[in-house]
Chains A and B, each alone.
Chain A
C-alpha cells in the first residue's frame, strides 16, 4: 500500500464504556458507528464500505441502513479491526468503495445479545485442547510464559511491572475503569488466576464499542477532523491452537505483521513516538516489544521495569491504560486503534507531546493472529 494514501477521518468509542447493560452487542456497534459518523459529519447513506467482526457485516450494514459496495467479515479475534483497517485501505485504493466504516461492539460484561462461546468437539482444538480443564484465555493465552521466563530470566517482578506502569497511564485517563495506583507487591499479592498469572495481570471484562471511518487522502481534505494517515500495515496468522505454536516464547504472527508494517511505512524504530500493544494479559507488551523489534530477545521485562514505557519515559506504550486498566470488551483491538488516532489528532487524555508516528499492534485468538497499523498525522 502507498503510505498516506488513505486516512482515518472519523473515530469514536461508544458513548459509555464499562458496564452498559442497556445496550445489546449490535447496538453497541451502532452507537459507536453513529458517534464516528457524527465525529466527521456523515450519515449512513454516505458510507459504502462495511467491515466488522463479532457481527456479520450484512447484519451491521442492514442495521445501520447502509448499502455497501464492499464488505469484509475477517474475524481473527481481537485484532480483526487492524486487519479491517488494512483491507479497507486496499479497497479504497482499488476503488471498491469510497467511505469505509469499521465497527466493533461487545457486551463483554453484561452479555446482552452475545453469542455462546465454544467450538465443536470434533475440531482439532476440541479434540486436543478442550479436554484438559481450560478456563478460557487466562489459562491458555498465558501458557508459554513460564517457558519464556526460563529461557530469558525474566522475573515475576518484571512481569508485574507491566500492570503497574499501565495503571499509571490509566490514572491520566478519565474514562479508565481502574485509576488507583498499584505496586508490584499489590500485583504479586492479588488473587492467583492461572499460575504464574494473578488477577492484576489479567484484563478487565467490560462492555463497549468503537468505530472508524476511512477515506482516500484526497477525500480526507473535505472533513472537519484532522486526518490520521495510514503509513504502514501488516497482518498474519499462525495457529488457532496455542499448543501448536512453533515457539511459545515468541509470536510468528507478531513478527510477520510487524516487519511488514515497518517496511511498508519506511520507518525505523527510532522514528516511533507512541506505541499501542494489545494487552489482554501482562506478557503481551513484553512479547510485542521484542517481536516488533523495539528491544532484543529477553530484554522487554527489564525495559518496562526501568520505566521506559511509563509516563515520562522515552517510549510511551498503552497510554490509555490498556486492556489491563482502561477497558477490555473481549476484542480489544478497536480501543488500541482509537487511542492511536487520539494521539495522532493530539486529543488523547495522556497526550504524548509532538507525537507524529504511532504503532498500533494487535493480537487475536490467543496468538492465532496479528495485525499492525502504523499511523501518522504528518502529510
Chain B
C-alpha cells in the first residue's frame, strides 16, 4: 500500500536506475559491483560503467541493507508535504561502502537518539504503487 500522505517529490527512474527502483519495490536494496577482478568497486547511484576504472562490465546485486549513521541534520523547517515536526535528513554509510541520503525512521528525531555510527538497517517506504523509498531504522530495533 502506498503512503497516501506523501506529498513530496517522486523519483522518476531512468534506464540506468530502473533496477534499483524495481528492487526497492520488492524490498531489496540494489547496488552494482565492477566486474573487473582488479577493481571490484561498489557503485551507487547506478550507471552502466564503473567510475573507478571506466569498465563497462558491471553487475547488479542485492546489498545487505545494513550500514551506520554517518551524519545528519534535523530540519526544523520541513518543506510542504513533510508534516510540521522536525525530521532528520541523514547520510548512511552502507556496509558495502557507498553512502546515501535517507531518513531515519522508528527513532526519536533528536541529537540524543540519533547517535553517529549507530548501526542501521534499510526499511522501504512505498510512496506510490511503483516507488518505494529506502529509509533506515536503528538495527535490531
A and B held together in a complex: yes
Q: Which residues of A contact B (CB under 8 A)?
A: 120-122, 124, 126-135, 138-140, 142-147, 150, 191-197, 241-244, 248
Instruction: Give the dominant DSSP class at A's interface.
Output: mixed
Cross-chain pair count, CB within 8 angstroms: 116
B77 partner residues in chain A, CB cutoff 8 A: 135, 138-139, 193-194
B17 adjacent to A127 (CB under 8 Å) = yes
A-B contact pairs, 22 of them (CB 8 A): A124-B17, A127-B11, A127-B45, A131-B8, A131-B9, A133-B79, A133-B82, A134-B89, A135-B75, A139-B73, A139-B77, A146-B71, A147-B70, A147-B71, A191-B76, A192-B86, A194-B73, A194-B77, A196-B73, A242-B101, A243-B101, A248-B70
B12 partner residues in chain A, CB cutoff 8 A: 120-122, 126-127
Give complex CA distance A131, B126 in Å. 12
B101 adjacent to A128 (CB under 8 Å) = yes
Contact of A122 among B14, B82, B117 (CB under 8 A): B14
User: Which size bracket describes the interface of B in this complex?
Assistant: 35 or more
Contact of A147 among B10, B89, B100, B116 (CB under 8 A): B116
A26: shortest Cβ distance to chain B, in Å?
28
A150-B73 contact, Cβ under 8 Å, with A122-B14, A127-B11, A128-B45: no
A242 partner residues in chain B, CB cutoff 8 A: 101
Q: Which residues of B contact A (CB under 8 A)?
A: 8-14, 17, 21, 45, 70-79, 82, 86-87, 89-91, 99-103, 111, 116-117, 127, 133
Q: A122-B14, A128-B100 are in contact. List 12 more A-B contacts (CB 8 A).
A: A122-B13, A132-B102, A135-B78, A143-B89, A143-B91, A146-B71, A191-B76, A192-B74, A193-B76, A194-B73, A241-B45, A243-B99
A138 partner residues in chain B, CB cutoff 8 A: 75, 77
B89 adjacent to A132 (CB under 8 Å) = yes
B116 partner residues in chain A, CB cutoff 8 A: 146-147, 150
The 5 closest A-B pairs by CB, nearest first: A147-B71, A195-B74, A127-B11, A243-B101, A122-B12
Q: Which of B75, B90, B99 has the most CB of A within 10 A?
A: B75
A124 partner residues in chain B, CB cutoff 8 A: 17, 45
A130 partner residues in chain B, CB cutoff 8 A: 8-9, 11
